[in-house]
Structure 1
Protein backbone atom coordinates (compact mmCIF):
# COMPACT_ATOMS: atom_id res chain seq x y z
CA UNK A 1 0.00 0.00 0.00
CA UNK A 2 1.27 3.48 -0.89
CA UNK A 3 2.06 5.54 2.19
CA UNK A 4 1.07 9.17 2.39
CA UNK A 5 4.45 10.24 3.79
CA UNK A 6 6.18 8.72 0.76
CA UNK A 7 4.02 10.81 -1.57
CA UNK A 8 4.80 13.90 0.49
CA UNK A 9 8.54 13.18 0.31
CA UNK A 10 8.38 12.70 -3.47
CA UNK A 11 6.41 15.91 -4.11
CA UNK A 12 8.66 17.98 -1.85
CA UNK A 13 11.77 16.61 -3.55
CA UNK A 14 10.40 17.22 -7.05
CA UNK A 15 9.31 20.78 -6.24
CA UNK A 16 12.39 21.74 -4.23
CA UNK A 17 14.84 20.19 -6.69
CA UNK A 18 16.88 18.25 -4.16
CA UNK A 19 16.50 15.87 -1.25
CA UNK A 20 18.33 18.31 1.02
CA UNK A 21 15.90 21.12 0.21
CA UNK A 22 12.95 18.74 0.60
CA UNK A 23 14.20 17.65 4.01
CA UNK A 24 14.33 21.29 5.13
CA UNK A 25 10.82 21.94 3.84
CA UNK A 26 9.43 18.85 5.59
CA UNK A 27 11.47 19.30 8.75
CA UNK A 28 12.94 15.81 8.44
CA UNK A 29 16.41 14.34 8.26
CA UNK A 30 17.75 13.88 4.75
CA UNK A 31 18.11 10.13 5.39
CA UNK A 32 14.41 9.88 6.30
CA UNK A 33 13.35 11.58 3.07
CA UNK A 34 15.62 9.26 1.06
CA UNK A 35 14.18 6.20 2.79
CA UNK A 36 10.61 7.30 2.11
CA UNK A 37 11.41 7.92 -1.55
CA UNK A 38 13.04 4.50 -1.88
CA UNK A 39 10.05 2.83 -0.24
CA UNK A 40 7.60 4.62 -2.54
CA UNK A 41 9.57 3.53 -5.61
CA UNK A 42 9.66 -0.04 -4.31
CA UNK A 43 5.91 -0.10 -3.77
CA UNK A 44 5.22 1.40 -7.22
CA UNK A 45 7.80 -0.84 -8.85
CA UNK A 46 9.41 1.99 -10.81
CA UNK A 47 12.03 4.70 -10.52
CA UNK A 48 10.56 8.15 -10.00
CA UNK A 49 13.74 10.15 -9.48
CA UNK A 50 17.05 9.87 -11.27
CA UNK A 51 19.86 10.69 -8.85
CA UNK A 52 23.38 11.59 -9.90
CA UNK A 53 26.24 13.23 -8.05
CA UNK A 54 25.57 16.52 -9.85
CA UNK A 55 21.78 16.81 -10.14
CA UNK A 56 18.39 15.28 -9.52
CA UNK A 57 15.74 14.85 -12.19
CA UNK A 58 12.42 13.10 -12.61
CA UNK A 59 12.14 10.01 -14.74
CA UNK A 60 9.37 9.79 -17.31
CA UNK A 61 7.28 7.84 -14.79
CA UNK A 62 8.11 10.44 -12.14
CA UNK A 63 6.85 13.22 -14.39
CA UNK A 64 3.64 11.29 -14.95
CA UNK A 65 3.16 10.59 -11.25
CA UNK A 66 3.96 14.12 -9.99
CA UNK A 67 0.73 16.01 -10.86
CA UNK A 68 -1.37 13.18 -9.44
CA UNK A 69 0.72 13.10 -6.28
CA UNK A 70 0.38 16.88 -5.91
CA UNK A 71 -3.38 16.55 -6.32
CA UNK A 72 -3.53 13.85 -3.63
CA UNK A 73 -1.70 16.09 -1.16
CA UNK A 74 -3.86 19.11 -1.99
CA UNK A 75 -7.10 17.19 -1.64
CA UNK A 76 -6.03 15.66 1.65
CA UNK A 77 -5.01 19.07 2.96
CA UNK A 78 -8.25 20.65 1.76
CA UNK A 79 -10.32 17.87 3.30
CA UNK A 80 -8.60 18.39 6.64
CA UNK A 81 -9.11 22.16 6.33
CA UNK A 82 -12.81 21.72 5.56
CA UNK A 83 -13.24 19.54 8.66
CA UNK A 84 -11.36 22.09 10.72
CA UNK A 85 -13.54 24.86 9.30
CA UNK A 86 -16.67 23.00 10.42
CA UNK A 87 -15.38 23.10 13.96
CA UNK A 88 -14.65 26.81 13.61
CA UNK A 89 -10.90 26.43 13.15
CA UNK A 90 -8.69 26.45 10.07
CA UNK A 91 -5.42 24.56 10.28
CA UNK A 92 -2.57 23.14 8.23
CA UNK A 93 0.01 24.47 5.77
CA UNK A 94 -0.60 27.34 3.35
CA UNK A 95 2.23 28.08 0.92
CA UNK A 96 2.21 31.47 -0.81
CA UNK A 97 4.28 33.41 -3.34
CA UNK A 98 4.18 37.20 -3.73
CA UNK A 99 6.16 40.03 -5.36
CA UNK A 100 9.12 41.21 -3.30
CA UNK A 101 8.34 44.89 -2.79
CA UNK A 102 4.62 44.50 -2.23
CA UNK A 103 5.33 41.63 0.14
CA UNK A 104 7.64 43.78 2.25
CA UNK A 105 5.51 46.93 2.24
CA UNK A 106 1.97 45.61 2.53
CA UNK A 107 1.64 41.82 2.62
CA UNK A 108 3.79 41.32 5.72
CA UNK A 109 1.59 43.36 8.10
CA UNK A 110 -1.59 41.97 6.52
CA UNK A 111 -0.35 38.39 6.90
CA UNK A 112 0.41 39.06 10.55
CA UNK A 113 -3.26 39.89 11.10
CA UNK A 114 -4.34 36.77 9.21
CA UNK A 115 -2.07 34.52 11.28
CA UNK A 116 -3.38 36.09 14.48
CA UNK A 117 -6.92 35.32 13.29
CA UNK A 118 -6.00 31.73 12.36
CA UNK A 119 -3.05 30.67 14.53
CA UNK A 120 -3.28 27.00 13.50
CA UNK A 121 -2.59 27.76 9.84
CA UNK A 122 1.09 27.26 9.03
CA UNK A 123 1.82 30.06 6.55
CA UNK A 124 4.91 29.88 4.35
CA UNK A 125 5.57 32.81 2.01
CA UNK A 126 8.26 33.20 -0.66
CA UNK A 127 8.88 36.61 -2.22
CA UNK A 128 9.89 36.62 -5.88
CA UNK A 129 9.55 39.23 -8.63
CA UNK A 130 9.84 36.59 -11.34
CA UNK A 131 6.78 34.94 -12.88
CA UNK A 132 5.72 32.18 -10.49
CA UNK A 133 3.63 29.35 -11.90
CA UNK A 134 0.92 28.70 -9.32
CA UNK A 135 -0.27 25.64 -11.22
CA UNK A 136 3.10 23.89 -11.23
CA UNK A 137 5.22 25.59 -8.58
CA UNK A 138 3.83 23.81 -5.55
CA UNK A 139 2.14 26.93 -4.15
CA UNK A 140 -1.39 26.97 -2.79
CA UNK A 141 -1.81 30.54 -4.00
CA UNK A 142 0.20 33.30 -5.68
CA UNK A 143 -0.30 37.05 -5.37
CA UNK A 144 0.18 38.78 -8.70
CA UNK A 145 0.01 42.28 -10.17
CA UNK A 146 -1.86 42.70 -13.43
CA UNK A 147 -4.05 40.57 -15.64
CA UNK A 148 -3.94 36.76 -15.38
CA UNK A 149 -3.85 35.17 -18.82
CA UNK A 150 -3.57 31.54 -17.75
CA UNK A 151 -6.58 29.26 -18.21
CA UNK A 152 -5.22 26.89 -15.55
CA UNK A 153 -5.67 29.54 -12.87
CA UNK A 154 -8.55 31.20 -11.08
CA UNK A 155 -7.95 34.80 -10.03
CA UNK A 156 -9.71 36.83 -7.35
CA UNK A 157 -9.13 40.57 -7.23
CA UNK A 158 -7.88 41.72 -3.85
CA UNK A 159 -7.32 45.43 -4.43
CA UNK A 160 -6.78 48.11 -7.03
CA UNK A 161 -4.27 50.91 -7.16
CA UNK A 162 -3.97 54.14 -9.04
CA UNK A 163 -0.70 54.73 -10.85
CA UNK A 164 0.81 58.18 -10.66
CA UNK A 165 3.53 59.98 -12.55
CA UNK A 166 5.92 61.33 -9.92
CA UNK A 167 9.30 63.01 -9.67
CA UNK A 168 11.35 64.70 -6.99
CA UNK A 169 11.01 68.46 -6.44
CA UNK A 170 14.68 68.82 -7.40
CA UNK A 171 14.17 67.11 -10.77
CA UNK A 172 11.11 69.21 -11.60
CA UNK A 173 12.91 72.43 -10.62
CA UNK A 174 15.83 71.45 -12.84
CA UNK A 175 13.95 70.04 -15.86
CA UNK A 176 10.51 71.64 -15.60
CA UNK A 177 6.99 70.25 -15.15
CA UNK A 178 5.61 68.41 -18.20
CA UNK A 179 2.06 69.61 -18.80
CA UNK A 180 1.01 67.13 -21.49
CA UNK A 181 1.64 63.58 -22.64
CA UNK A 182 3.69 64.86 -25.57
CA UNK A 183 6.00 66.80 -23.24
CA UNK A 184 6.78 63.57 -21.35
CA UNK A 185 8.71 62.36 -24.40
CA UNK A 186 11.40 64.97 -23.69
CA UNK A 187 11.98 63.90 -20.08
CA UNK A 188 14.07 61.14 -18.51
CA UNK A 189 12.05 58.16 -17.40
CA UNK A 190 12.64 55.52 -14.74
CA UNK A 191 11.05 52.51 -16.39
CA UNK A 192 9.87 49.07 -15.39
CA UNK A 193 12.08 46.65 -17.33
CA UNK A 194 9.66 43.70 -17.40
CA UNK A 195 7.01 45.31 -19.58
CA UNK A 196 7.21 47.33 -22.80
CA UNK A 197 4.86 50.24 -23.27
CA UNK A 198 4.32 50.49 -19.53
CA UNK A 199 3.35 54.18 -19.63
CA UNK A 200 -0.24 54.02 -20.91
CA UNK A 201 -2.68 56.90 -20.59
CA UNK A 202 -6.40 57.10 -21.29
CA UNK A 203 -7.23 59.90 -23.72
CA UNK A 204 -10.33 60.87 -25.71
CA UNK A 205 -8.79 59.00 -28.65
CA UNK A 206 -8.09 55.81 -26.68
CA UNK A 207 -4.98 54.55 -24.93
CA UNK A 208 -1.75 56.40 -25.69
CA UNK A 209 1.64 54.88 -24.93
CA UNK A 210 4.63 57.03 -24.00
CA UNK A 211 8.22 55.79 -24.26
CA UNK A 212 10.55 58.41 -22.77
CA UNK A 213 14.30 58.17 -22.75
CA UNK A 214 15.32 55.74 -20.01
CA UNK A 215 17.47 57.10 -17.20
CA UNK A 216 17.09 53.71 -15.51
CA UNK A 217 15.32 50.41 -16.12
CA UNK A 218 14.56 48.19 -13.14
CA UNK A 219 12.35 45.22 -12.34
CA UNK A 220 11.61 46.37 -8.80
CA UNK A 221 9.29 49.17 -7.71
CA UNK A 222 11.33 50.13 -4.65
CA UNK A 223 14.43 50.63 -6.79
CA UNK A 224 12.41 52.82 -9.15
CA UNK A 225 11.01 54.82 -6.26
CA UNK A 226 14.46 55.44 -4.81
CA UNK A 227 15.79 56.54 -8.18
CA UNK A 228 12.94 59.02 -8.54
CA UNK A 229 13.51 60.35 -5.02
CA UNK A 230 17.17 60.86 -5.94
CA UNK A 231 16.14 63.07 -8.87
CA UNK A 232 17.10 60.77 -11.77
CA UNK A 233 13.85 61.27 -13.63
CA UNK A 234 10.10 60.77 -13.76
CA UNK A 235 8.55 57.42 -12.96
CA UNK A 236 5.07 55.91 -13.15
CA UNK A 237 4.29 53.71 -10.15
CA UNK A 238 1.28 52.28 -8.31
CA UNK A 239 0.33 54.25 -5.24
CA UNK A 240 1.14 51.27 -3.01
CA UNK A 241 4.83 52.08 -3.68
CA UNK A 242 4.72 55.86 -3.34
CA UNK A 243 1.80 56.89 -1.12
CA UNK A 244 4.00 57.86 1.83
CA UNK A 245 6.55 59.68 -0.34
CA UNK A 246 3.75 61.66 -2.00
CA UNK A 247 2.13 62.49 1.33
CA UNK A 248 5.46 63.78 2.72
CA UNK A 249 6.29 65.76 -0.42
CA UNK A 250 9.43 63.76 -1.24
CA UNK A 251 7.78 62.88 -4.55
CA UNK A 252 5.43 65.21 -6.42
CA UNK A 253 2.54 63.95 -8.61
CA UNK A 254 2.60 65.24 -12.20
CA UNK A 255 -0.65 66.08 -14.03
CA UNK A 256 -0.38 65.69 -17.81
CA UNK A 257 -4.12 65.93 -18.43
CA UNK A 258 -4.70 62.19 -18.85
CA UNK A 259 -5.26 59.29 -16.46
CA UNK A 260 -2.58 56.61 -16.28
CA UNK A 261 -3.55 52.96 -16.54
CA UNK A 262 -4.27 51.56 -13.08
CA UNK A 263 -2.87 48.48 -11.37
CA UNK A 264 -4.64 45.51 -9.80
CA UNK A 265 -3.63 42.91 -7.25
CA UNK A 266 -4.95 39.35 -7.58
CA UNK A 267 -4.68 36.16 -5.59
CA UNK A 268 -4.50 33.21 -7.98
CA UNK A 269 -4.75 29.48 -7.42
CA UNK A 270 -4.89 26.40 -9.68
CA UNK A 271 -8.28 25.77 -11.24
CA UNK A 272 -8.04 22.02 -10.74
CA UNK A 273 -8.42 22.24 -6.97
CA UNK A 274 -10.28 25.50 -6.52
CA UNK A 275 -10.24 27.78 -3.53
CA UNK A 276 -9.84 25.93 -0.26
CA UNK A 277 -11.33 27.30 2.94
CA UNK A 278 -7.88 28.59 3.88
CA UNK A 279 -7.45 30.51 0.60
CA UNK A 280 -10.91 32.02 0.93
CA UNK A 281 -10.16 33.05 4.50
CA UNK A 282 -6.83 34.57 3.42
CA UNK A 283 -8.41 36.52 0.56
CA UNK A 284 -11.14 37.87 2.85
CA UNK A 285 -8.58 38.87 5.48
CA UNK A 286 -6.32 40.62 2.94
CA UNK A 287 -9.25 42.55 1.48
CA UNK A 288 -10.19 43.77 4.95
CA UNK A 289 -6.61 44.81 5.65
CA UNK A 290 -6.16 46.67 2.36
CA UNK A 291 -9.61 48.30 2.37
CA UNK A 292 -11.87 49.49 -0.45
CA UNK A 293 -10.59 51.87 -1.68
CA UNK A 294 -7.23 50.62 -0.40
CA UNK A 295 -5.43 52.71 2.18
CA UNK A 296 -2.54 53.50 -0.18
CA UNK A 297 -4.88 55.30 -2.57
CA UNK A 298 -6.47 57.27 0.28
CA UNK A 299 -3.07 58.34 1.64
CA UNK A 300 -1.83 59.39 -1.81
CA UNK A 301 -4.78 61.74 -2.37
Structure 2
Protein backbone atom coordinates (compact mmCIF):
# COMPACT_ATOMS: atom_id res chain seq x y z
CA UNK A 1 0.00 0.00 0.00
CA UNK A 2 1.37 3.39 -0.98
CA UNK A 3 1.34 6.03 1.74
CA UNK A 4 -0.50 9.28 1.01
CA UNK A 5 1.68 12.24 0.07
CA UNK A 6 0.79 14.29 3.13
CA UNK A 7 3.38 16.97 2.46
CA UNK A 8 2.01 17.61 -1.02
CA UNK A 9 -1.58 17.76 0.26
CA UNK A 10 -0.51 20.32 2.87
CA UNK A 11 1.15 22.42 0.17
CA UNK A 12 -1.97 22.11 -2.01
CA UNK A 13 -4.13 23.35 0.89
CA UNK A 14 -1.95 26.43 1.35
CA UNK A 15 -1.96 27.15 -2.42
CA UNK A 16 -5.75 26.91 -2.49
CA UNK A 17 -6.00 29.22 0.54
CA UNK A 18 -3.62 31.90 -0.77
CA UNK A 19 -4.41 31.67 -4.47
CA UNK A 20 -0.85 31.48 -5.83
CA UNK A 21 2.25 29.34 -5.83
CA UNK A 22 4.46 32.28 -4.87
CA UNK A 23 2.35 33.23 -1.84
CA UNK A 24 2.18 29.62 -0.67
CA UNK A 25 5.95 29.24 -1.04
CA UNK A 26 6.59 32.36 1.05
CA UNK A 27 4.11 31.31 3.75
CA UNK A 28 5.60 27.82 4.02
CA UNK A 29 9.22 28.92 3.83
CA UNK A 30 9.99 26.84 0.74
CA UNK A 31 10.83 27.63 -2.86
CA UNK A 32 8.25 28.14 -5.59
CA UNK A 33 9.67 25.21 -7.65
CA UNK A 34 9.11 22.96 -4.61
CA UNK A 35 5.45 24.03 -4.54
CA UNK A 36 5.09 23.41 -8.28
CA UNK A 37 6.66 19.95 -8.01
CA UNK A 38 4.39 18.99 -5.08
CA UNK A 39 1.23 19.96 -7.00
CA UNK A 40 2.46 18.17 -10.14
CA UNK A 41 3.22 15.09 -8.06
CA UNK A 42 -0.33 15.05 -6.69
CA UNK A 43 -1.90 15.52 -10.10
CA UNK A 44 0.11 12.63 -11.57
CA UNK A 45 -0.88 10.46 -8.66
CA UNK A 46 -4.57 11.40 -8.88
CA UNK A 47 -4.57 11.22 -12.66
CA UNK A 48 -6.43 14.52 -12.94
CA UNK A 49 -5.67 18.25 -12.62
CA UNK A 50 -6.40 19.89 -9.29
CA UNK A 51 -5.83 23.47 -10.43
CA UNK A 52 -6.60 25.57 -13.50
CA UNK A 53 -3.56 27.74 -14.15
CA UNK A 54 -3.32 30.68 -16.54
CA UNK A 55 -0.88 33.56 -16.75
CA UNK A 56 -3.29 35.78 -14.82
CA UNK A 57 -5.14 33.59 -12.34
CA UNK A 58 -5.46 30.21 -10.72
CA UNK A 59 -8.61 28.32 -9.72
CA UNK A 60 -9.60 24.89 -8.47
CA UNK A 61 -10.84 22.20 -10.81
CA UNK A 62 -13.78 20.03 -9.80
CA UNK A 63 -11.32 17.48 -8.38
CA UNK A 64 -9.53 20.26 -6.55
CA UNK A 65 -12.81 21.51 -5.06
CA UNK A 66 -13.59 17.99 -3.87
CA UNK A 67 -10.18 17.63 -2.21
CA UNK A 68 -9.52 21.06 -0.72
CA UNK A 69 -11.59 20.72 2.49
CA UNK A 70 -9.91 17.48 3.54
CA UNK A 71 -6.48 18.75 2.53
CA UNK A 72 -7.05 21.82 4.69
CA UNK A 73 -7.97 19.58 7.63
CA UNK A 74 -4.78 17.55 7.11
CA UNK A 75 -2.70 20.73 7.22
CA UNK A 76 -4.51 21.96 10.34
CA UNK A 77 -4.02 18.61 12.11
CA UNK A 78 -0.32 18.62 11.30
CA UNK A 79 0.06 22.15 12.64
CA UNK A 80 -1.89 21.19 15.78
CA UNK A 81 0.34 18.17 16.44
CA UNK A 82 3.49 20.26 16.15
CA UNK A 83 2.03 22.97 18.37
CA UNK A 84 1.10 20.43 21.04
CA UNK A 85 4.55 18.81 21.02
CA UNK A 86 6.22 22.21 21.15
CA UNK A 87 4.04 23.26 24.07
CA UNK A 88 4.90 20.03 25.92
CA UNK A 89 8.60 20.63 25.37
CA UNK A 90 8.25 24.07 26.93
CA UNK A 91 5.81 23.05 29.68
CA UNK A 92 6.21 19.38 30.70
CA UNK A 93 3.05 17.31 30.69
CA UNK A 94 2.12 13.65 30.58
CA UNK A 95 2.74 10.51 32.64
CA UNK A 96 6.05 9.29 34.13
CA UNK A 97 6.60 5.75 35.50
CA UNK A 98 9.50 5.47 37.94
CA UNK A 99 10.89 2.45 39.83
CA UNK A 100 12.95 2.69 43.02
CA UNK A 101 14.17 0.58 45.96
CA UNK A 102 11.56 0.22 48.71
CA UNK A 103 13.13 1.89 51.76
CA UNK A 104 14.89 4.62 49.80
CA UNK A 105 11.73 5.33 47.82
CA UNK A 106 9.54 5.68 50.91
CA UNK A 107 11.99 7.68 53.01
CA UNK A 108 13.80 9.83 50.48
CA UNK A 109 12.02 9.93 47.10
CA UNK A 110 8.37 10.17 48.06
CA UNK A 111 8.95 13.33 50.17
CA UNK A 112 10.47 15.05 47.12
CA UNK A 113 7.47 14.49 44.87
CA UNK A 114 4.94 17.04 46.23
CA UNK A 115 7.12 20.02 45.31
CA UNK A 116 7.64 18.57 41.82
CA UNK A 117 3.88 18.00 41.42
CA UNK A 118 3.18 21.55 42.53
CA UNK A 119 5.64 22.97 40.02
CA UNK A 120 4.51 20.73 37.15
CA UNK A 121 0.77 20.16 37.65
CA UNK A 122 0.34 18.67 34.15
CA UNK A 123 2.72 15.77 34.91
CA UNK A 124 1.31 12.65 36.57
CA UNK A 125 3.60 10.23 38.41
CA UNK A 126 3.61 6.51 39.11
CA UNK A 127 6.14 5.19 41.65
CA UNK A 128 6.81 1.42 41.81
CA UNK A 129 8.83 0.35 44.86
CA UNK A 130 10.80 -2.90 45.02
CA UNK A 131 14.30 -3.95 46.05
CA UNK A 132 14.42 -6.26 43.02
CA UNK A 133 15.95 -4.91 39.83
CA UNK A 134 13.09 -4.20 37.43
CA UNK A 135 13.15 -4.57 33.65
CA UNK A 136 12.78 -0.98 32.49
CA UNK A 137 11.83 -1.78 28.91
CA UNK A 138 9.62 -4.78 29.64
CA UNK A 139 7.94 -3.00 32.53
CA UNK A 140 7.30 0.19 30.59
CA UNK A 141 9.28 2.41 32.97
CA UNK A 142 10.60 5.82 31.97
CA UNK A 143 13.36 5.69 34.59
CA UNK A 144 14.52 3.89 37.70
CA UNK A 145 16.52 4.98 40.70
CA UNK A 146 19.23 2.45 41.56
CA UNK A 147 21.66 2.41 44.45
CA UNK A 148 25.05 0.74 44.28
CA UNK A 149 27.56 0.05 41.57
CA UNK A 150 25.87 -0.29 38.20
CA UNK A 151 26.46 -3.34 36.04
CA UNK A 152 27.60 -2.70 32.50
CA UNK A 153 24.49 -2.42 30.35
CA UNK A 154 22.93 -0.49 27.51
CA UNK A 155 20.94 1.65 29.95
CA UNK A 156 21.57 5.38 30.06
CA UNK A 157 22.70 6.38 33.55
CA UNK A 158 23.16 9.63 35.48
CA UNK A 159 24.82 9.76 38.91
CA UNK A 160 22.75 11.81 41.35
CA UNK A 161 24.85 11.67 44.54
CA UNK A 162 27.29 9.53 46.43
CA UNK A 163 26.34 7.41 49.46
CA UNK A 164 28.69 6.41 52.28
CA UNK A 165 28.43 2.86 53.61
CA UNK A 166 28.99 2.69 57.36
CA UNK A 167 29.70 -0.19 59.73
CA UNK A 168 27.28 0.45 62.58
CA UNK A 169 26.11 -1.11 65.81
CA UNK A 170 24.23 -0.17 68.98
CA UNK A 171 26.06 0.87 72.17
CA UNK A 172 24.58 -2.22 73.86
CA UNK A 173 26.23 -4.46 71.26
CA UNK A 174 29.66 -2.94 71.84
CA UNK A 175 29.23 -3.27 75.61
CA UNK A 176 28.48 -6.96 75.23
CA UNK A 177 30.76 -7.96 72.34
CA UNK A 178 33.53 -5.37 72.52
CA UNK A 179 34.46 -2.70 69.99
CA UNK A 180 36.62 -3.98 67.10
CA UNK A 181 39.80 -2.06 66.39
CA UNK A 182 40.74 -3.78 63.11
CA UNK A 183 38.55 -5.44 60.41
CA UNK A 184 40.15 -8.84 61.09
CA UNK A 185 38.40 -8.87 64.48
CA UNK A 186 35.01 -8.90 62.73
CA UNK A 187 35.43 -12.62 62.01
CA UNK A 188 34.30 -13.27 65.59
CA UNK A 189 31.41 -10.79 65.56
CA UNK A 190 27.75 -11.13 64.54
CA UNK A 191 26.69 -9.81 61.13
CA UNK A 192 23.31 -8.50 59.99
CA UNK A 193 23.39 -8.74 56.21
CA UNK A 194 21.49 -7.60 53.14
CA UNK A 195 20.14 -10.54 51.15
CA UNK A 196 20.79 -8.98 47.74
CA UNK A 197 24.49 -8.83 48.49
CA UNK A 198 26.30 -11.93 47.24
CA UNK A 199 25.97 -14.76 49.80
CA UNK A 200 29.17 -15.12 51.80
CA UNK A 201 30.60 -11.93 50.34
CA UNK A 202 33.42 -10.49 52.43
CA UNK A 203 33.09 -7.08 54.01
CA UNK A 204 35.70 -4.78 52.45
CA UNK A 205 37.38 -1.78 54.04
CA UNK A 206 40.01 0.81 53.15
CA UNK A 207 42.29 2.71 55.48
CA UNK A 208 44.33 5.68 54.18
CA UNK A 209 47.52 4.37 55.82
CA UNK A 210 46.94 0.65 56.35
CA UNK A 211 45.43 -0.08 52.94
CA UNK A 212 42.67 -2.56 52.07
CA UNK A 213 41.29 -5.44 54.11
CA UNK A 214 38.49 -7.96 53.49
CA UNK A 215 36.91 -10.21 56.09
CA UNK A 216 34.12 -12.76 56.22
CA UNK A 217 31.59 -12.05 58.98
CA UNK A 218 29.18 -14.72 60.30
CA UNK A 219 25.59 -13.70 59.51
CA UNK A 220 22.90 -14.13 62.16
CA UNK A 221 20.18 -12.34 60.13
CA UNK A 222 19.71 -11.81 56.41
CA UNK A 223 16.92 -9.66 54.95
CA UNK A 224 16.04 -8.61 51.42
CA UNK A 225 15.30 -5.09 52.64
CA UNK A 226 18.10 -3.26 54.41
CA UNK A 227 15.72 -1.26 56.61
CA UNK A 228 14.43 -4.54 58.06
CA UNK A 229 17.81 -4.93 59.77
CA UNK A 230 17.31 -1.74 61.81
CA UNK A 231 15.30 -3.26 64.71
CA UNK A 232 17.96 -5.95 65.24
CA UNK A 233 20.67 -3.31 65.01
CA UNK A 234 19.00 -1.09 67.60
CA UNK A 235 18.45 -4.10 69.87
CA UNK A 236 22.18 -4.82 69.84
CA UNK A 237 21.90 -8.12 67.95
CA UNK A 238 24.79 -7.48 65.58
CA UNK A 239 26.73 -5.18 63.28
CA UNK A 240 25.70 -4.17 59.76
CA UNK A 241 27.06 -2.34 56.76
CA UNK A 242 24.32 0.19 56.08
CA UNK A 243 23.97 3.10 53.66
CA UNK A 244 24.11 6.35 55.56
CA UNK A 245 20.67 7.40 54.30
CA UNK A 246 19.16 4.58 56.40
CA UNK A 247 20.94 5.28 59.69
CA UNK A 248 21.88 8.96 59.78
CA UNK A 249 19.10 9.87 62.23
CA UNK A 250 20.00 7.01 64.59
CA UNK A 251 23.66 8.04 64.43
CA UNK A 252 22.78 11.65 65.19
CA UNK A 253 20.84 10.75 68.33
CA UNK A 254 23.35 8.12 69.48
CA UNK A 255 21.12 5.06 69.06
CA UNK A 256 23.77 3.67 66.67
CA UNK A 257 27.51 4.25 66.51
CA UNK A 258 30.08 3.83 63.76
CA UNK A 259 32.54 1.00 64.33
CA UNK A 260 36.12 1.04 63.07
CA UNK A 261 36.60 4.79 62.54
CA UNK A 262 39.17 5.34 59.83
CA UNK A 263 38.27 2.12 58.01
CA UNK A 264 35.87 3.01 55.20
CA UNK A 265 33.78 0.50 53.22
CA UNK A 266 33.58 1.25 49.46
CA UNK A 267 31.25 4.14 48.70
CA UNK A 268 28.26 3.57 46.44
CA UNK A 269 26.04 6.03 44.57
CA UNK A 270 22.46 6.85 43.70
CA UNK A 271 21.90 6.70 39.94
CA UNK A 272 18.93 7.25 37.72
CA UNK A 273 18.84 4.89 34.74
CA UNK A 274 16.75 5.15 31.58
CA UNK A 275 16.00 2.81 28.68
CA UNK A 276 18.38 3.08 25.72
CA UNK A 277 17.53 4.59 22.38
CA UNK A 278 14.65 6.78 23.50
CA UNK A 279 14.30 10.51 23.27
CA UNK A 280 13.98 11.98 26.74
CA UNK A 281 10.62 13.77 27.11
CA UNK A 282 10.62 17.08 28.90
CA UNK A 283 8.57 15.61 31.76
CA UNK A 284 11.20 12.92 32.41
CA UNK A 285 14.09 15.38 32.24
CA UNK A 286 12.29 17.74 34.60
CA UNK A 287 11.84 14.96 37.16
CA UNK A 288 15.48 13.87 36.90
CA UNK A 289 16.71 17.44 37.36
CA UNK A 290 14.42 17.88 40.37
CA UNK A 291 15.67 14.70 42.04
CA UNK A 292 19.30 15.61 41.36
CA UNK A 293 18.93 19.05 42.95
CA UNK A 294 17.10 17.84 46.02
CA UNK A 295 19.13 14.70 46.72
CA UNK A 296 22.38 16.67 46.50
CA UNK A 297 21.09 18.70 49.48
CA UNK A 298 20.28 15.65 51.64
CA UNK A 299 22.15 15.59 55.00
CA UNK A 300 23.55 12.13 54.21
CA UNK A 301 24.56 12.76 50.57
CA UNK A 302 28.19 12.56 49.51
CA UNK A 303 29.44 14.50 46.49
CA UNK A 304 27.87 13.51 43.16
TM-score bracket, shorter-length normalisation: 0.5 to 0.7
Native 8 Å contact 1:201 1:260 kept in 2: yes
Please, what is the CA RMSD of the aligned residues? 2.2
Match of 2:43 in 1: none
Q: Which residue of 2 aligns with 1:168?
A: 170
Residue 80 and residue 128 in structure 1: after superposition, are their counterparts in 2 closer, same or farther (change >3 A)?
Answer: farther
1:233: which partner in 2? 238
Larger radius of gyration: 2
Q: Give the TM-score, by structure 2 length.
A: 0.67
For residues 214-253 of structure 1, the aligned pairs below 5 Å read: 214-253=219-258
**Matches of 1:228 and 1:288, distance apart in 2:** 31
Cα deviation per residue 1:167-226 (whole Å; 9 max; x = unaligned)? 011111111100111111111010111112262212467643322111111111111122
Q: Is 1:208 the counterpart of 2:210 in the alignment?
A: no
Does 2:121 match 1:108?
no
Shift of 1:148: 2.4
Structure 1 residues 114 and 81, CA gap change in structure 2 (3 angstroms): farther
Q: Kindly indicate whether the alpha-carbon contact (under 8 Å) linking 1:189 and 1:233 is maintained by their aligned counterparts in 2.
A: yes
Are the equivalent residues in 2 in contact too, given 1:163–1:238 (CA < 8 A)? yes
Instruction: For 1:1-301, list aligned pairs within 5 A.
Output: 83-86=86-89, 88-196=90-198, 197=201, 199-203=203-207, 207-291=212-296, 294-297=298-301
> How far did 1:231 drift?
1.0
After alignment, is 140-149 or 239-248 more displaced?
Answer: 140-149
CA distance in structure 2 between the partners assigned to 1:140 and 1:134 by the alignment = 7
Shift of 1:165: 0.7
Distance in 2 (alpha carbons) for counterparts of 1:240 and 1:280: 24
Structure 1 156/190 Cα, relative in aligned 2: closer, same or farther at 3 Å?
Answer: same
Flag the 1:114–1:231 CA change in 2: closer, same or farther, 3 A. Answer: same
Q: Is the 8 Å Cα contact of residues 135 and 152 (structure 1) preserved in structure 2?
A: no
- Mapped partners of 1:109, 1:244: distance in 2: 16
Normalising by structure 1, we get a TM-score of 0.67
Q: 1:275 to 1:188 in 2, by over 3 A?
A: same
Deviations 1:224-269 (A, max 9, x none): 1222111110011110000001001111111254211112111101
Which structure 1 residue ranges, 5 or more long, are not aligned?
2-78
SS in 1 for 2:260: coil
Tell me how far apart the structure 1 counterparts of residues 84 and 132 of structure 2 sit (CA, whole Å). Answer: 30
State how many pairs are aligned. 219
Contact 1:81–1:92 (8 Å) recurs in 2: no
Per-residue displacement from partner, 1:99-118 (whole Å, max 9, x unpaired)? 00001110001122211221
> Cα gap change, 1:172/1:134 in structure 2, threshold over 3 Å: closer, same or farther?
same
